[in-house]
Chain A
C-alpha cells in the first residue's frame, strides 16, 4: 500500500472517530434537555467533518474553528435569550412538563396500618432485613444485602420458616448506623407491595400521592381533588385554582413584553431605570470626553514642561483593573469609615451619605466613572489632535488668534467628526456598564413601592441581573425579555454608529 493511500485511510479513520465523538457529545447535550444547542452542535460538527474531509473547501477550513465558537457561545446565547423571553422559566417554573409530572407522581403517601416492625440481622459484612410477623401476616426477610452505601436498591422479601435461624437481631444502633442505606432501600413483598423505611423501627407500604387520570390530570388520593395541567400558567391546577408546586416551563407568548410596556406597576420603575441608563451613559461620555479632550490639548502644548510624567500618571486609572479600582472607591466613599468623608468632615464638617441618598449615589457613580474613563478619551483625543495639520495653527497665529479661538475654531470642528463613532461606542459601552453599577452600588438605594425590587441607580443590565439572579425569584423569562429589549436598543445604537462610520469612510475610499 502506498503512503498516500495509507494516509487516506488514516484520515478516514480519524474522521470517523471525531465524528463519533461529536455524536456522543451531541447526544449528551440533547439528553441534558438542550435540544436547540444539540441541533447547533450537530450542524457545526457536520460542517466541520465536511470542511476537513472534502477537498473543495478552502477558506472554510481556516475560518471554522473561530466562527463556530462564536456561533455557539455568542450567537446561540443571544438567540436563546430571545427564546427564553417568551417562556415563564423561573425558580418556580424551572423544570419541563415531563420532569414535573414524574416528580409529582413519585410523591408518595404512607398506606395507613401498613407499618411493620423490622430488625437487622448480621450475615458477615452483609445484612438481612426481617419484618416481624403480625397477627395476619407471616414474618418476611430479605436475602443478605449490603448496606454499605446509600445507592437506591430493591430487595425481595420472602417468608421465613424459622425465625431463629436468622440469628440474633442487631441492636437499634445498627439501624442508626445504616440509616442512609435503609432510606434508599425498597422492599418488595411476595404480594407485590413495596415498602420503604417509615421510622427507625418500621417499614411501611407507600402509595403514590397522586393517581394519573386518563385525561392527563392528577387526582389527590386523600382529598380527591383533581389537578389538570394548565398550559398557560405552567402549573397543575385544581378547579378551585390551587396550584401544585413545582410548576413547569410553558410558553407565555408576549406576556413579559406586555408587562414591561403596559403594566403600570412594572413599566414605571422600568422607565425610570431606562431614563437613568441613558442619562448615566450620556453624562459619562460628556464628562470623560470633556476632561480627556482638555488634557489632550494641554499635553500637546509643547511649551509645557513634564508632559511625559503627567501622561503616565494620568493614564493609570485605565491600566488598573476596573474591579479593583471600583472596589477601592467603594471603600473610599464609605459613609463613616471612608477617607473621602474624613476629608470632607475635616474641611466642611459634612458626611454625605453616598450610598443611601439616590442623588448622591448617582453623583458618586458619575465621579467614579469619569475617573475610570477619562484616560481612554485622553489617548484617543491626543491621537486625533496630533493629526491636525500644524499650518492651520500657524495661520491662526498670524491672524493673532488666542488658544480659545484655536480650540473652538480649529481643533474641535476637526476632531468632532472622526470622534463621533467612538463616542457612540463609548455610549454603548456605558449603556451596558454592569461591572461599575454592580460592584459600586449594586443598584441601591431601591425605589419605593415597586412590584419587583428596582434600584434608583440601576441601569438596565444590572436591573435585569437582579431580576434573574437576585431577590426576585429568579425570573429568567422576564429577565430574558428585558435583555431582548436591550439587544434591540444596542442594535439601534449600532446602526446609528455604522451610519456615522460610513459617512467618515466615504471620502477616503
Chain B
C-alpha cells in the first residue's frame, strides 16, 4: 500500500508528464488559453489514462510477454487507446450529453495525445524494474496508481499554465514573443520550479 501512494505522489510531482518528459505538449500549448476548457481537457486525460493504462498493463503482462510478442506493443497500445477513446466518446454521448458537450471536442484529440501513449510506454519499461524502486509498476494496482498520478499531474500542469496565461493577457510583451514564444518560456520557468520536487525522498 505504501508503494501505491509513493508511486502516486511521485508520478504527480517528480515524474510530471509535462515538466519532466514533455509529453502531451501539443494540446498543452494549444488548449491552455483559459482555465475552464483546460480543466475539461485535464479531466478527460485523467479519465482516459485511468481506463487505458490498466488495460495495456494486462495486455502486456498476460498476452504479449508470455507469447514473446513485445515488438507488437506499439501497434496494440495505440489500437487500444484509439479504440477506447472512441468507445468512451460514444458512452459519454449516450449517457451524459452535458459532459459530452463540455468535453466533446477534446475526446477524439486525446487518442493522439502523447501523454497517454507515453504513459503506456513508460509503464512497459517499468514492469520489469526492481520492486523496491519507487518507480516500479509490479501489480495491477500500481498501474492504476500510475494512471491516476500521471493524469492528475498533467491536469495540474495545464490548469496552472492556463491561469498564468489568463493573467499574462495584460502584460506588455515584445511583439515577436507574444503567444507561443512567451508560453514556451513560461513553461520553462514552471518546469524549473517543479525541479524542486526532484529532491523529494518518497
A and B bind: no
Residue numbers of A with Cβ under 8 A of B are none
